[in-house]
Structure 1
Amino acid sequence: MNSTDFVKAYAPATVANVCCGFDVLGFALDQPGDEVWVRKTEAQGITISAIHGIEGLSANPAENVIGVVAQKMLEALEVPHGLEMQLHKGMPVGSGLGSSAASSAAAAYAVNELLGSPFSTKELVVFAMEGERKASGSAHADNVAPSLLGGFVLVRDYEPLDVVELGVPLELYCTVLYPQIELKTSLSRQILKQEIPLKQGIRQWGNLAGLMAGLLKKDYALLGRSLHDAIFEPERSILIPLFKQVKSAALAAGALGAGISGSGPSIFALSATRAQALAVQEAMEAIYSGSGIETKSYVAQVPEQGVRLVGHSSYKPAQL
Protein backbone atom coordinates (compact mmCIF):
# COMPACT_ATOMS: atom_id res chain seq x y z
CA MET A 1 0.00 0.00 0.00
CA ASN A 2 1.28 3.46 -0.88
CA SER A 3 2.73 5.06 2.26
CA THR A 4 1.67 8.51 1.08
CA ASP A 5 -2.01 7.58 0.87
CA PHE A 6 -3.01 9.77 3.79
CA VAL A 7 -4.79 12.96 4.88
CA LYS A 8 -4.32 15.48 7.68
CA ALA A 9 -7.12 17.52 9.27
CA TYR A 10 -7.12 20.52 11.59
CA ALA A 11 -9.91 21.11 14.14
CA PRO A 12 -10.14 24.29 16.22
CA ALA A 13 -10.62 25.01 19.88
CA THR A 14 -14.10 25.91 21.10
CA VAL A 15 -15.89 27.81 23.82
CA ALA A 16 -18.81 25.88 25.29
CA ASN A 17 -21.56 26.88 27.74
CA VAL A 18 -21.32 30.57 26.66
CA CYS A 19 -22.82 32.04 29.83
CA CYS A 20 -26.59 31.56 29.58
CA GLY A 21 -26.06 28.76 27.03
CA PHE A 22 -24.84 26.30 29.64
CA ASP A 23 -24.53 22.80 28.11
CA VAL A 24 -26.46 23.78 24.95
CA LEU A 25 -24.37 26.43 23.16
CA GLY A 26 -20.83 26.58 21.84
CA PHE A 27 -18.76 28.40 19.25
CA ALA A 28 -15.53 27.77 17.38
CA LEU A 29 -12.27 29.72 17.52
CA ASP A 30 -9.95 29.98 14.54
CA GLN A 31 -6.99 29.08 16.80
CA PRO A 32 -5.52 27.20 18.63
CA GLY A 33 -6.33 23.70 17.44
CA ASP A 34 -5.23 20.09 16.93
CA GLU A 35 -4.15 18.14 13.84
CA VAL A 36 -4.68 14.46 13.12
CA TRP A 37 -2.88 12.54 10.38
CA VAL A 38 -4.33 9.25 9.04
CA ARG A 39 -3.32 6.69 6.44
CA LYS A 40 -4.60 3.28 5.41
CA THR A 41 -2.67 0.15 6.38
CA GLU A 42 -2.76 -3.41 5.06
CA ALA A 43 -3.18 -4.83 8.55
CA GLN A 44 -6.50 -4.44 10.28
CA GLY A 45 -6.88 -2.40 13.43
CA ILE A 46 -5.70 1.04 14.46
CA THR A 47 -2.18 2.12 15.35
CA ILE A 48 -1.25 5.49 16.85
CA SER A 49 2.34 5.83 15.70
CA ALA A 50 3.14 9.28 17.11
CA ILE A 51 1.84 11.96 19.45
CA HIS A 52 3.44 15.40 19.19
CA GLY A 53 3.13 18.58 21.21
CA ILE A 54 2.29 17.02 24.55
CA GLU A 55 3.48 14.32 26.92
CA GLY A 56 1.48 11.77 28.85
CA LEU A 57 -1.24 10.87 26.35
CA SER A 58 -1.69 7.16 25.69
CA ALA A 59 -0.83 5.75 22.28
CA ASN A 60 -3.22 2.87 22.94
CA PRO A 61 -6.05 3.47 20.41
CA ALA A 62 -8.60 2.19 22.95
CA GLU A 63 -7.47 4.84 25.44
CA ASN A 64 -6.90 7.81 23.12
CA VAL A 65 -9.88 9.73 21.75
CA ILE A 66 -8.60 9.70 18.16
CA GLY A 67 -8.41 5.91 18.22
CA VAL A 68 -11.85 5.59 19.80
CA VAL A 69 -13.42 7.84 17.15
CA ALA A 70 -11.69 6.06 14.28
CA GLN A 71 -12.69 2.61 15.57
CA LYS A 72 -16.36 3.63 15.77
CA MET A 73 -16.22 4.83 12.17
CA LEU A 74 -14.52 1.66 10.92
CA GLU A 75 -17.15 -0.44 12.66
CA ALA A 76 -19.99 1.61 11.18
CA LEU A 77 -18.60 1.21 7.66
CA GLU A 78 -17.27 -2.36 8.04
CA VAL A 79 -13.95 -1.29 6.54
CA PRO A 80 -11.62 -4.26 5.80
CA HIS A 81 -8.31 -2.44 6.24
CA GLY A 82 -6.71 -0.69 9.19
CA LEU A 83 -5.45 2.81 9.96
CA GLU A 84 -2.26 4.42 11.16
CA MET A 85 -2.80 7.72 12.99
CA GLN A 86 -0.72 10.55 14.40
CA LEU A 87 -1.83 13.38 16.69
CA HIS A 88 -0.36 16.86 17.00
CA LYS A 89 -1.67 18.74 20.04
CA GLY A 90 -1.63 22.43 19.33
CA MET A 91 -3.66 23.39 22.36
CA PRO A 92 -3.48 22.84 26.13
CA VAL A 93 -5.25 19.96 27.84
CA GLY A 94 -7.63 20.75 30.69
CA SER A 95 -8.02 24.39 29.70
CA GLY A 96 -11.76 24.45 29.10
CA LEU A 97 -11.21 25.06 25.37
CA GLY A 98 -12.40 21.68 24.10
CA SER A 99 -9.03 19.95 23.81
CA SER A 100 -10.43 16.42 23.56
CA ALA A 101 -13.16 17.70 21.25
CA ALA A 102 -10.64 19.19 18.81
CA SER A 103 -8.72 15.90 18.67
CA SER A 104 -11.97 13.95 18.22
CA ALA A 105 -13.27 16.29 15.52
CA ALA A 106 -9.98 16.24 13.59
CA ALA A 107 -9.87 12.44 13.78
CA ALA A 108 -13.44 12.04 12.55
CA TYR A 109 -12.92 14.43 9.65
CA ALA A 110 -9.56 12.94 8.59
CA VAL A 111 -10.85 9.37 8.65
CA ASN A 112 -13.97 10.39 6.74
CA GLU A 113 -11.91 12.12 4.03
CA LEU A 114 -9.55 9.16 3.72
CA LEU A 115 -12.50 6.79 3.26
CA GLY A 116 -14.14 8.87 0.53
CA SER A 117 -16.44 11.06 2.65
CA PRO A 118 -19.26 8.58 3.36
CA PHE A 119 -20.61 10.92 6.06
CA SER A 120 -21.50 14.59 5.98
CA THR A 121 -19.61 16.82 8.39
CA LYS A 122 -22.73 17.13 10.52
CA GLU A 123 -23.10 13.34 10.66
CA LEU A 124 -19.57 13.17 12.07
CA VAL A 125 -20.77 14.79 15.29
CA VAL A 126 -22.06 11.47 16.66
CA PHE A 127 -18.67 9.81 16.10
CA ALA A 128 -16.71 12.70 17.62
CA MET A 129 -19.02 12.54 20.66
CA GLU A 130 -17.62 9.06 21.36
CA GLY A 131 -14.23 10.68 21.87
CA GLU A 132 -15.83 12.99 24.43
CA ARG A 133 -17.41 9.99 26.13
CA LYS A 134 -13.95 8.46 26.48
CA ALA A 135 -12.38 11.70 27.73
CA SER A 136 -15.03 12.79 30.23
CA GLY A 137 -17.51 9.96 30.62
CA SER A 138 -20.24 11.93 28.85
CA ALA A 139 -20.96 12.01 25.11
CA HIS A 140 -21.75 15.70 24.90
CA ALA A 141 -21.79 17.73 21.67
CA ASP A 142 -21.38 21.37 22.73
CA ASN A 143 -17.64 21.29 21.92
CA VAL A 144 -17.36 18.78 19.08
CA ALA A 145 -20.26 20.26 17.10
CA PRO A 146 -18.80 23.78 16.75
CA SER A 147 -15.31 22.34 16.22
CA LEU A 148 -16.67 20.37 13.25
CA LEU A 149 -19.21 22.87 11.92
CA GLY A 150 -17.71 26.25 12.82
CA GLY A 151 -19.48 29.35 14.09
CA PHE A 152 -22.12 29.11 16.82
CA VAL A 153 -23.94 25.81 17.33
CA LEU A 154 -26.99 25.10 19.47
CA VAL A 155 -27.49 21.57 20.81
CA ARG A 156 -31.27 21.62 21.08
CA ASP A 157 -31.65 18.03 22.29
CA TYR A 158 -29.90 14.67 22.54
CA GLU A 159 -32.88 12.32 22.23
CA PRO A 160 -32.62 12.33 19.30
CA LEU A 161 -29.56 14.49 18.69
CA ASP A 162 -30.64 17.83 17.24
CA VAL A 163 -27.75 20.17 16.40
CA VAL A 164 -28.66 23.59 15.01
CA GLU A 165 -26.02 25.52 13.07
CA LEU A 166 -26.30 29.25 13.75
CA GLY A 167 -23.20 30.23 11.77
CA VAL A 168 -21.53 33.58 12.32
CA PRO A 169 -24.21 36.18 11.54
CA LEU A 170 -22.00 39.05 12.78
CA GLU A 171 -18.27 39.62 13.13
CA LEU A 172 -17.00 38.53 16.54
CA TYR A 173 -13.60 38.15 18.16
CA CYS A 174 -12.89 36.17 21.28
CA THR A 175 -10.24 36.84 23.89
CA VAL A 176 -9.38 33.79 25.98
CA LEU A 177 -7.27 33.86 29.12
CA TYR A 178 -6.11 30.49 30.41
CA PRO A 179 -4.80 30.57 34.00
CA GLN A 180 -2.64 27.46 34.22
CA ILE A 181 -4.23 25.82 37.22
CA GLU A 182 -5.77 22.36 37.48
CA LEU A 183 -9.55 22.37 37.47
CA LYS A 184 -11.21 19.00 37.04
CA THR A 185 -14.46 18.86 35.12
CA SER A 186 -15.83 16.48 37.73
CA LEU A 187 -15.36 19.10 40.44
CA SER A 188 -17.00 21.79 38.32
CA ARG A 189 -19.98 19.49 37.90
CA GLN A 190 -20.20 18.44 41.53
CA ILE A 191 -20.83 21.95 42.81
CA LEU A 192 -23.70 22.68 40.41
CA LYS A 193 -27.15 23.10 41.88
CA GLN A 194 -29.62 20.45 40.75
CA GLU A 195 -32.72 22.59 41.20
CA ILE A 196 -33.21 26.25 40.41
CA PRO A 197 -35.81 28.84 41.45
CA LEU A 198 -38.37 29.63 38.78
CA LYS A 199 -37.38 33.30 38.77
CA GLN A 200 -33.75 32.43 37.97
CA GLY A 201 -34.84 30.01 35.27
CA ILE A 202 -37.01 32.60 33.56
CA ARG A 203 -34.15 35.10 33.58
CA GLN A 204 -31.77 32.51 32.12
CA TRP A 205 -34.18 31.54 29.34
CA GLY A 206 -34.68 35.20 28.50
CA ASN A 207 -30.93 35.72 28.25
CA LEU A 208 -30.48 32.68 26.01
CA ALA A 209 -33.29 33.81 23.72
CA GLY A 210 -31.81 37.30 23.70
CA LEU A 211 -28.39 35.96 22.78
CA MET A 212 -29.90 34.01 19.87
CA ALA A 213 -31.84 37.06 18.74
CA GLY A 214 -28.77 39.27 19.06
CA LEU A 215 -26.81 36.96 16.77
CA LEU A 216 -29.55 36.63 14.17
CA LYS A 217 -30.51 40.34 14.24
CA LYS A 218 -26.82 41.32 14.18
CA ASP A 219 -27.42 43.41 17.27
CA TYR A 220 -24.24 43.73 19.33
CA ALA A 221 -25.97 45.60 22.13
CA LEU A 222 -28.62 42.90 22.58
CA LEU A 223 -25.97 40.21 22.45
CA GLY A 224 -23.99 41.98 25.17
CA ARG A 225 -27.05 42.44 27.41
CA SER A 226 -27.78 38.73 27.11
CA LEU A 227 -24.32 37.31 27.88
CA HIS A 228 -25.11 36.62 31.53
CA ASP A 229 -25.37 33.40 33.50
CA ALA A 230 -27.75 33.90 36.41
CA ILE A 231 -27.58 30.30 37.60
CA PHE A 232 -24.26 28.48 37.29
CA GLU A 233 -21.51 31.08 37.02
CA PRO A 234 -21.77 32.29 40.63
CA GLU A 235 -20.98 28.77 41.87
CA ARG A 236 -18.45 27.78 39.21
CA SER A 237 -16.47 31.01 39.37
CA ILE A 238 -15.29 30.41 42.93
CA LEU A 239 -13.01 27.67 41.58
CA ILE A 240 -11.15 30.16 39.33
CA PRO A 241 -8.83 32.60 41.13
CA LEU A 242 -9.47 36.28 40.27
CA PHE A 243 -12.39 35.42 37.98
CA LYS A 244 -14.57 38.33 39.06
CA GLN A 245 -11.72 40.81 38.67
CA VAL A 246 -10.82 39.48 35.21
CA LYS A 247 -14.44 39.61 34.04
CA SER A 248 -14.85 43.16 35.35
CA ALA A 249 -11.62 44.22 33.62
CA ALA A 250 -12.78 42.70 30.32
CA LEU A 251 -16.11 44.52 30.46
CA ALA A 252 -14.41 47.79 31.44
CA ALA A 253 -12.11 47.42 28.43
CA GLY A 254 -15.11 47.19 26.12
CA ALA A 255 -15.96 43.50 25.84
CA LEU A 256 -19.55 42.69 24.94
CA GLY A 257 -19.64 40.01 27.62
CA ALA A 258 -17.44 37.48 29.38
CA GLY A 259 -17.72 34.18 31.19
CA ILE A 260 -16.22 30.76 31.89
CA SER A 261 -15.13 28.76 28.86
CA GLY A 262 -16.37 25.20 29.07
CA SER A 263 -15.51 23.61 32.40
CA GLY A 264 -12.83 26.27 33.01
CA PRO A 265 -10.45 27.53 34.12
CA SER A 266 -10.24 29.57 30.90
CA ILE A 267 -12.17 32.84 30.82
CA PHE A 268 -13.53 34.15 27.52
CA ALA A 269 -14.68 37.58 26.41
CA LEU A 270 -16.41 38.49 23.14
CA SER A 271 -15.70 41.73 21.25
CA ALA A 272 -16.96 43.29 18.04
CA THR A 273 -13.51 44.10 16.61
CA ARG A 274 -10.02 42.65 16.78
CA ALA A 275 -8.64 45.93 18.15
CA GLN A 276 -11.15 45.77 20.98
CA ALA A 277 -10.31 42.12 21.64
CA LEU A 278 -6.62 42.99 21.91
CA ALA A 279 -7.40 45.76 24.42
CA VAL A 280 -9.48 43.28 26.41
CA GLN A 281 -6.59 40.80 26.32
CA GLU A 282 -4.25 43.38 27.83
CA ALA A 283 -6.76 44.23 30.57
CA MET A 284 -7.38 40.58 31.45
CA GLU A 285 -3.68 39.72 31.57
CA ALA A 286 -3.00 42.69 33.84
CA ILE A 287 -5.20 41.19 36.57
CA TYR A 288 -3.04 38.08 36.83
CA SER A 289 0.23 39.99 36.62
CA GLY A 290 2.09 39.45 39.89
CA SER A 291 -0.40 36.83 41.11
CA GLY A 292 2.07 33.97 40.80
CA ILE A 293 -0.28 32.16 38.40
CA GLU A 294 1.06 31.66 34.89
CA THR A 295 -1.33 32.35 32.03
CA LYS A 296 -1.71 31.89 28.30
CA SER A 297 -3.98 34.09 26.25
CA TYR A 298 -5.36 34.03 22.74
CA VAL A 299 -7.23 36.43 20.50
CA ALA A 300 -9.19 34.53 17.89
CA GLN A 301 -11.96 35.23 15.43
CA VAL A 302 -15.15 33.18 15.51
CA PRO A 303 -14.84 31.45 12.11
CA GLU A 304 -17.51 30.29 9.72
CA GLN A 305 -15.59 27.08 9.05
CA GLY A 306 -14.62 24.58 11.69
CA VAL A 307 -12.59 21.46 10.90
CA ARG A 308 -10.74 21.45 7.59
CA LEU A 309 -8.31 19.41 5.52
CA VAL A 310 -4.73 20.72 5.72
CA GLY A 311 -2.76 17.84 4.19
CA HIS A 312 -3.15 15.08 1.64
CA SER A 313 -1.15 12.48 -0.28
CA SER A 314 1.31 15.05 -1.68
CA TYR A 315 2.74 15.50 1.83
CA LYS A 316 5.30 13.14 3.35
CA PRO A 317 3.88 11.11 6.25
CA ALA A 318 6.86 11.95 8.48
CA GLN A 319 5.96 15.61 8.36
CA LEU A 320 3.01 15.86 10.71
Structure 2
Amino acid sequence: MRLPALNGLRTFDAVARHLSMKHAAAELCVTPSAVSQQLRGLEEELGVSLFRRANRALYLSDAGQSLLPAIRNAFRLMTEATDRVRNGADSGMLTVSVTPFFAETWLVPRLGDFQARHPAIDLRVMATTALANLAAGEADVAIRHGLGSYRDMISDLLIAPMVVPVASPDLVIRLGSPGEAVDLLDWPKVHGADRGGWPLWFRHHGLIATARGASFDDVGLLRTAILSGQGAGLLPAALAEPDIRDGRLVGLADPVLLDGLAYYLVTPSAADLRPSVMAFRHWLLEQVQGLEEA
Protein backbone atom coordinates (compact mmCIF):
# COMPACT_ATOMS: atom_id res chain seq x y z
CA MET A 1 0.00 0.00 0.00
CA ARG A 2 1.34 3.42 -0.99
CA LEU A 3 2.22 5.77 1.85
CA PRO A 4 0.84 9.32 1.91
CA ALA A 5 3.12 12.13 0.78
CA LEU A 6 5.63 13.23 3.43
CA ASN A 7 4.67 16.90 3.06
CA GLY A 8 1.09 16.10 3.92
CA LEU A 9 2.14 14.19 7.03
CA ARG A 10 4.46 17.01 8.12
CA THR A 11 1.61 19.46 7.68
CA PHE A 12 -0.74 17.27 9.71
CA ASP A 13 1.83 17.04 12.52
CA ALA A 14 2.32 20.81 12.61
CA VAL A 15 -1.42 21.59 12.58
CA ALA A 16 -2.01 18.98 15.30
CA ARG A 17 0.60 20.60 17.52
CA HIS A 18 -0.66 24.15 17.09
CA LEU A 19 -4.34 23.43 16.37
CA SER A 20 -4.04 26.47 14.12
CA MET A 21 -3.57 26.72 10.34
CA LYS A 22 -1.91 30.11 10.76
CA HIS A 23 0.68 28.98 13.32
CA ALA A 24 1.39 25.77 11.42
CA ALA A 25 1.96 27.82 8.26
CA ALA A 26 4.42 30.07 10.10
CA GLU A 27 6.37 27.02 11.32
CA LEU A 28 6.46 25.46 7.85
CA CYS A 29 7.23 28.80 6.11
CA VAL A 30 4.24 28.51 3.79
CA THR A 31 0.90 30.25 3.51
CA PRO A 32 -2.20 29.14 5.48
CA SER A 33 -3.89 28.29 2.20
CA ALA A 34 -1.00 25.96 1.33
CA VAL A 35 -1.41 24.26 4.72
CA SER A 36 -5.14 23.88 4.11
CA GLN A 37 -4.48 22.41 0.66
CA GLN A 38 -1.92 19.89 1.97
CA LEU A 39 -4.25 18.86 4.77
CA ARG A 40 -7.22 18.48 2.43
CA GLY A 41 -5.15 16.32 0.10
CA LEU A 42 -4.07 14.05 2.97
CA GLU A 43 -7.64 13.68 4.21
CA GLU A 44 -8.84 12.82 0.70
CA GLU A 45 -6.09 10.24 0.30
CA LEU A 46 -6.90 8.61 3.64
CA GLY A 47 -10.64 8.93 3.20
CA VAL A 48 -11.19 10.39 6.67
CA SER A 49 -11.42 13.80 8.34
CA LEU A 50 -8.44 14.38 10.61
CA PHE A 51 -9.81 17.50 12.28
CA ARG A 52 -13.19 18.85 13.27
CA ARG A 53 -14.09 22.50 13.52
CA ALA A 54 -16.41 24.00 16.13
CA ASN A 55 -16.91 27.65 17.11
CA ARG A 56 -13.95 28.69 14.96
CA ALA A 57 -11.68 26.31 16.91
CA LEU A 58 -9.82 23.30 15.52
CA TYR A 59 -9.87 19.88 17.20
CA LEU A 60 -8.43 16.48 16.30
CA SER A 61 -11.04 13.99 15.15
CA ASP A 62 -10.99 10.41 16.40
CA ALA A 63 -9.07 9.42 13.26
CA GLY A 64 -6.61 12.26 13.82
CA GLN A 65 -6.01 11.23 17.43
CA SER A 66 -5.40 7.67 16.28
CA LEU A 67 -2.91 8.71 13.58
CA LEU A 68 -0.94 11.38 15.47
CA PRO A 69 1.15 9.22 17.90
CA ALA A 70 2.45 7.00 15.09
CA ILE A 71 3.30 9.99 12.89
CA ARG A 72 5.16 11.75 15.69
CA ASN A 73 7.08 8.59 16.54
CA ALA A 74 8.00 8.12 12.87
CA PHE A 75 9.31 11.69 12.59
CA ARG A 76 11.26 11.26 15.84
CA LEU A 77 12.91 8.08 14.54
CA MET A 78 13.76 9.74 11.22
CA THR A 79 15.25 12.75 13.02
CA GLU A 80 17.38 10.57 15.30
CA ALA A 81 18.53 8.42 12.37
CA THR A 82 19.51 11.40 10.22
CA ASP A 83 21.29 12.99 13.18
CA ARG A 84 23.35 9.81 13.63
CA VAL A 85 24.25 9.78 9.94
CA ARG A 86 25.03 13.49 9.92
CA ASN A 87 27.24 13.22 12.99
CA GLY A 88 29.03 10.09 11.86
CA ALA A 89 28.59 6.39 12.50
CA ASP A 90 30.01 6.60 16.02
CA SER A 91 29.52 10.12 17.35
CA GLY A 92 30.41 9.24 20.95
CA MET A 93 26.80 9.13 22.17
CA LEU A 94 25.70 5.70 23.41
CA THR A 95 22.05 5.08 24.30
CA VAL A 96 21.44 2.25 26.78
CA SER A 97 17.90 0.95 27.33
CA VAL A 98 17.62 -0.80 30.70
CA THR A 99 14.92 -1.89 33.12
CA PRO A 100 14.40 0.59 36.00
CA PHE A 101 15.19 -1.98 38.71
CA PHE A 102 18.50 -3.05 37.16
CA ALA A 103 19.44 0.55 36.38
CA GLU A 104 18.85 1.73 39.93
CA THR A 105 20.28 -1.19 41.87
CA TRP A 106 23.19 -2.34 39.69
CA LEU A 107 24.09 -0.33 36.59
CA VAL A 108 23.96 3.34 37.60
CA PRO A 109 26.11 2.97 40.76
CA ARG A 110 28.88 1.53 38.56
CA LEU A 111 28.73 3.97 35.65
CA GLY A 112 31.26 6.36 37.16
CA ASP A 113 33.95 3.78 36.42
CA PHE A 114 32.89 3.53 32.78
CA GLN A 115 32.86 7.31 32.33
CA ALA A 116 36.33 7.56 33.93
CA ARG A 117 37.68 4.99 31.48
CA HIS A 118 35.83 6.34 28.42
CA PRO A 119 35.39 10.11 28.84
CA ALA A 120 34.76 10.54 25.10
CA ILE A 121 31.60 8.41 25.25
CA ASP A 122 28.48 10.22 26.47
CA LEU A 123 26.01 7.77 27.92
CA ARG A 124 22.26 8.24 27.62
CA VAL A 125 20.50 5.84 29.98
CA MET A 126 16.81 5.16 29.27
CA ALA A 127 15.29 3.39 32.28
CA THR A 128 12.16 1.86 30.82
CA THR A 129 10.16 -1.34 30.89
CA ALA A 130 9.40 -0.97 27.17
CA LEU A 131 11.43 -3.11 24.80
CA ALA A 132 13.46 -0.66 22.73
CA ASN A 133 13.59 -1.43 19.01
CA LEU A 134 17.35 -1.67 18.52
CA ALA A 135 17.04 -2.38 14.81
CA ALA A 136 15.15 0.91 14.37
CA GLY A 137 17.76 2.83 16.35
CA GLU A 138 15.67 3.55 19.46
CA ALA A 139 18.73 2.53 21.51
CA ASP A 140 22.24 1.23 20.80
CA VAL A 141 22.20 -1.54 23.40
CA ALA A 142 19.67 -2.90 25.88
CA ILE A 143 19.79 -4.74 29.19
CA ARG A 144 16.78 -6.98 29.60
CA HIS A 145 15.53 -9.61 32.03
CA GLY A 146 14.26 -12.78 30.42
CA LEU A 147 15.40 -15.96 28.71
CA GLY A 148 17.90 -14.31 26.38
CA SER A 149 16.24 -15.22 23.10
CA TYR A 150 16.00 -12.09 20.94
CA ARG A 151 15.64 -12.53 17.20
CA ASP A 152 18.55 -11.24 15.07
CA MET A 153 20.29 -9.95 18.20
CA ILE A 154 23.39 -10.91 20.17
CA SER A 155 22.71 -11.72 23.84
CA ASP A 156 25.39 -11.84 26.54
CA LEU A 157 24.34 -13.27 29.90
CA LEU A 158 25.19 -10.80 32.64
CA ILE A 159 23.65 -11.85 35.94
CA ALA A 160 21.35 -14.71 36.87
CA PRO A 161 19.88 -13.62 40.21
CA MET A 162 18.60 -16.04 42.80
CA VAL A 163 14.81 -15.85 42.94
CA VAL A 164 12.50 -16.69 45.81
CA PRO A 165 8.73 -17.31 45.85
CA VAL A 166 7.01 -14.93 48.26
CA ALA A 167 3.50 -13.94 49.30
CA SER A 168 1.81 -11.54 51.67
CA PRO A 169 1.22 -12.74 55.25
CA ASP A 170 -2.55 -12.42 54.75
CA LEU A 171 -2.46 -14.73 51.73
CA VAL A 172 -0.39 -17.28 53.64
CA ILE A 173 -2.84 -17.19 56.57
CA ARG A 174 -5.73 -17.73 54.16
CA LEU A 175 -4.16 -20.56 52.13
CA GLY A 176 -1.77 -22.06 54.65
CA SER A 177 2.00 -22.41 54.52
CA PRO A 178 3.08 -24.63 51.59
CA GLY A 179 5.07 -27.64 52.66
CA GLU A 180 6.53 -28.31 49.22
CA ALA A 181 6.45 -26.97 45.68
CA VAL A 182 3.39 -28.96 44.62
CA ASP A 183 1.31 -27.13 47.22
CA LEU A 184 1.76 -23.88 45.26
CA LEU A 185 0.25 -25.21 42.03
CA ASP A 186 -3.24 -24.03 42.92
CA TRP A 187 -2.25 -20.73 44.51
CA PRO A 188 -3.07 -17.45 42.72
CA LYS A 189 0.09 -16.12 41.15
CA VAL A 190 1.43 -12.90 39.67
CA HIS A 191 4.14 -12.79 37.04
CA GLY A 192 6.88 -10.80 35.39
CA ALA A 193 6.33 -9.48 31.89
CA ASP A 194 7.46 -12.62 30.02
CA ARG A 195 5.51 -14.99 32.33
CA GLY A 196 8.45 -17.37 32.23
CA GLY A 197 9.40 -17.41 35.90
CA TRP A 198 6.76 -19.64 37.48
CA PRO A 199 6.83 -22.35 34.76
CA LEU A 200 10.64 -22.48 35.14
CA TRP A 201 10.38 -22.59 38.93
CA PHE A 202 7.94 -25.50 38.85
CA ARG A 203 10.05 -27.28 36.22
CA HIS A 204 13.05 -26.86 38.53
CA HIS A 205 11.02 -28.82 41.10
CA GLY A 206 9.93 -31.51 38.62
CA LEU A 207 6.45 -30.11 38.04
CA ILE A 208 4.53 -28.66 35.09
CA ALA A 209 2.47 -25.50 35.43
CA THR A 210 0.92 -22.83 33.24
CA ALA A 211 1.33 -19.09 33.76
CA ARG A 212 -2.12 -17.85 34.75
CA GLY A 213 -2.73 -14.53 36.50
CA ALA A 214 -1.75 -10.90 36.10
CA SER A 215 1.69 -9.93 34.79
CA PHE A 216 3.72 -6.77 35.38
CA ASP A 217 6.53 -5.34 33.27
CA ASP A 218 8.39 -3.83 36.23
CA VAL A 219 9.67 -5.68 39.28
CA GLY A 220 8.58 -2.80 41.52
CA LEU A 221 4.99 -3.19 40.34
CA LEU A 222 5.25 -6.96 40.74
CA ARG A 223 6.42 -6.48 44.35
CA THR A 224 3.48 -4.14 45.02
CA ALA A 225 1.02 -6.72 43.65
CA ILE A 226 2.52 -9.38 45.92
CA LEU A 227 2.46 -7.10 48.97
CA SER A 228 -1.22 -6.35 48.35
CA GLY A 229 -2.09 -10.05 48.40
CA GLN A 230 -2.94 -10.49 44.73
CA GLY A 231 -0.93 -13.70 44.51
CA ALA A 232 2.39 -15.39 45.13
CA GLY A 233 5.26 -14.10 43.03
CA LEU A 234 8.91 -14.65 42.26
CA LEU A 235 11.27 -11.84 43.25
CA PRO A 236 15.05 -11.48 43.18
CA ALA A 237 16.20 -12.78 46.56
CA ALA A 238 18.19 -9.60 47.25
CA LEU A 239 15.06 -7.48 46.71
CA ALA A 240 12.78 -9.72 48.76
CA GLU A 241 15.11 -10.24 51.73
CA PRO A 242 14.35 -6.94 53.56
CA ASP A 243 10.59 -7.50 53.14
CA ILE A 244 10.90 -11.06 54.46
CA ARG A 245 13.06 -9.93 57.37
CA ASP A 246 10.61 -7.18 58.35
CA GLY A 247 7.54 -9.41 58.02
CA ARG A 248 5.98 -7.67 55.02
CA LEU A 249 6.42 -10.81 52.91
CA VAL A 250 6.69 -14.51 53.65
CA GLY A 251 9.23 -16.69 51.86
CA LEU A 252 7.49 -19.79 50.52
CA ALA A 253 10.61 -21.81 49.61
CA ASP A 254 14.38 -21.48 49.44
CA PRO A 255 15.93 -19.15 46.81
CA VAL A 256 17.00 -20.91 43.61
CA LEU A 257 18.73 -20.18 40.31
CA LEU A 258 16.49 -20.80 37.31
CA ASP A 259 18.16 -21.96 34.10
CA GLY A 260 18.24 -19.20 31.50
CA LEU A 261 16.27 -16.61 33.49
CA ALA A 262 18.73 -13.75 33.81
CA TYR A 263 19.70 -10.23 32.83
CA TYR A 264 21.18 -10.05 29.33
CA LEU A 265 23.07 -7.43 27.36
CA VAL A 266 21.39 -7.27 23.96
CA THR A 267 23.02 -5.72 20.89
CA PRO A 268 22.19 -5.71 17.18
CA SER A 269 24.67 -7.82 15.25
CA ALA A 270 25.89 -4.95 13.09
CA ALA A 271 26.37 -2.64 16.06
CA ASP A 272 29.08 -4.87 17.54
CA LEU A 273 31.58 -3.21 15.21
CA ARG A 274 31.00 0.25 16.67
CA PRO A 275 33.80 1.26 19.06
CA SER A 276 31.42 2.75 21.64
CA VAL A 277 29.26 -0.40 21.73
CA MET A 278 32.32 -2.63 21.97
CA ALA A 279 33.74 -0.50 24.79
CA PHE A 280 30.50 -0.68 26.78
CA ARG A 281 30.09 -4.40 26.19
CA HIS A 282 33.69 -5.12 27.25
CA TRP A 283 33.34 -2.96 30.36
CA LEU A 284 30.01 -4.53 31.36
CA LEU A 285 31.27 -8.11 30.97
CA GLU A 286 34.35 -7.15 32.96
CA GLN A 287 32.15 -5.87 35.78
CA VAL A 288 30.20 -9.13 35.81
CA GLN A 289 33.39 -11.19 35.81
CA GLY A 290 34.61 -9.19 38.77
CA LEU A 291 31.49 -10.17 40.70
CA GLU A 292 32.01 -13.84 39.90
CA GLU A 293 35.63 -13.71 41.09
CA ALA A 294 34.84 -11.79 44.27
TM-score between both structures, scaled by the size of structure 1: 0.22
* Bigger share in strand: 1
Which of the pair has more CA radius of gyration? 2
* Bigger share in helix: 2
Higher relative CO (CA 8 A, sep ≥ 6), structure 1 or 2?
1
TM-score between both structures, scaled by the size of structure 2: 0.23
